[in-house]
Chain A
Amino acid sequence: MIMSLANPTRFLSLVSAVVPWLTALVVILLGTGLYLAFFVSPPDYQQGETVRIMYVHVPAAWLAMGCYLVIAIAALGTLIWRHPLADVAAKAAAPIGATFTFVALVTGSLWGKPMWGTYWVWDARLTSMLVLFLLYLGLIALWQAIEEPGRAGRAAAILALVGAINIPIIKFSVNWWNTLHQPASVLRVDGPSIDPALLTPLFVMGAAFAALFMLLHLLAMRTEILRRRVRALQQTQVEHAVLVGA
């Protein structure tokens, strides 16, 4: 399956077929998720109404890390298997991951002020998320700095793999260090510790954010493939002009 999609033209036709369905799925899931978050979900017994921030903060944080995992796997695809779309997938995912990380940081900060009494604290979870955001910015800058896509892709792949060490640090930071941030309450060995009345809206919003990520990632990958074709055609145009001139 993955190798059959190695052909960018075949991949582009698949994207055109999938995008309308994925758009509809995002609209349905987001609508349902927002309804559940504001009209069905009860307030938390400790946090009160502010628990509703969880429905955007937690999915954004999941996608921030998930997106980096996509980039790390794509980096392996670039360096080991030299899959033609691996570099495209990594480059397309970086701005989306940066946005989700930014959303997770800001919404977390807005949740922290009423609950902890401060917008920011340099604890392990918050700091490692900030490092993730800086990694995304570094990757984007690297792709912008090197003009030749192949070289830029290989350099970014190495940086992405080095930065992947931050993902387990983010996940386990709340267990390894004494942090203000609460420990994991959904992805736990003994199951979620959140009441199902709060968990259902969270999962629906998580699915909505995941579908949005897939939609944006496919669109961004298509844009990147087209950008490379445009670049190649413009080079052909220049070469042709030089030949005619000579």
Chain B
Amino acid sequence: MPDLGPHAAFIIGAYAVAFVMLGVLTLVTVANDRKQRRILIELERKGIRRRSAAKPPTPRVKMTKSKPEKAGAKRKPARARKTRS
């Protein structure tokens, strides 16, 4: 470390303020992150899950046999349902 001269207190003070503030910010950010993860795990342990995570998506099963589609064959566009006026 070089001799910081007569203004050493200002230089060290500036670095101290910067690193204390950024250090506190880092600690608070990490602590908040851990806290939210802990709460989320706790809720999921109780069986409370998001709708998207609650059930795996069930594949649609066709009840009737249909002809296998040819590769590259165009699908017919779905007809709009007629409504009674």
Residues of A participating in the B interface, judged by any CB pair closer than 8 Å = 38-39, 43, 48-50, 52-53, 56-57, 60, 95-96, 99, 102-103, 106-107, 110-111, 113-114, 212, 216, 219-220, 222-223, 226-227, 229-230, 232-234, 236-237, 240
Q: Is the CB of A226 within 8 A of B33?
A: yes
Closest beta carbon of chain A to B60's beta carbon, Å: 23
Instruction: Known contacts A96-B25, A226-B33, A233-B50; decide if A103 and B2 are in contact (CB<8 Å).
Output: no
Contacts of B4-41 to chain A: CB distance below 8 A:
4-5, 7-8, 10-11, 13-15, 17-18, 21-22, 25-26, 29-30, 32-33, 36-37, 39-40
Closest beta carbon of chain A to B38's beta carbon, Å: 10
Cβ of B25: which chain A residues have Cβ within 8 Å of it? 95-96, 99, 216
Q: Is the CB of B48 within 8 A of A233?
A: yes
- Interface residue tally of chain B, by bracket? 20 to 34
Cβ of B36: which chain A residues have Cβ within 8 Å of it? 223, 226-227, 230
Per the bound structure, the CA–CA distance linking A212 and B23 in Å amounts to 11
* A104, closest chain B residue (CB): B18
Q: Is the CB of A107 within 8 A of B43?
A: no
Closest beta carbon of chain A to B14's beta carbon, Å: 4
26 A-B residue pairs with Cβ-Cβ distance under 8 Å, sorted by A, are A38-B1, A38-B2, A48-B7, A49-B2, A49-B4, A49-B5, A49-B7, A49-B11, A50-B7, A56-B18, A57-B14, A103-B17, A107-B18, A110-B10, A110-B13, A111-B10, A219-B29, A220-B29, A223-B29, A226-B40, A227-B36, A230-B40, A233-B44, A233-B48, A236-B48, A237-B46
Cβ of A236: which chain B residues have Cβ within 8 Å of it? 48
Instruction: Known contacts A216-B26, A229-B50, A230-B36; decide if A50 and B10 are in contact (CB<8 Å).
Output: yes
Q: Is the CB of A222 within 8 A of B7?
A: no
Q: Which of B4, B14, B21, B39 interacts with A230 by CB under 8 Å?
A: B39
Closest beta carbon of chain B to A120's beta carbon, Å: 14
Most buried by B among A220, A233, A236, A237: A233
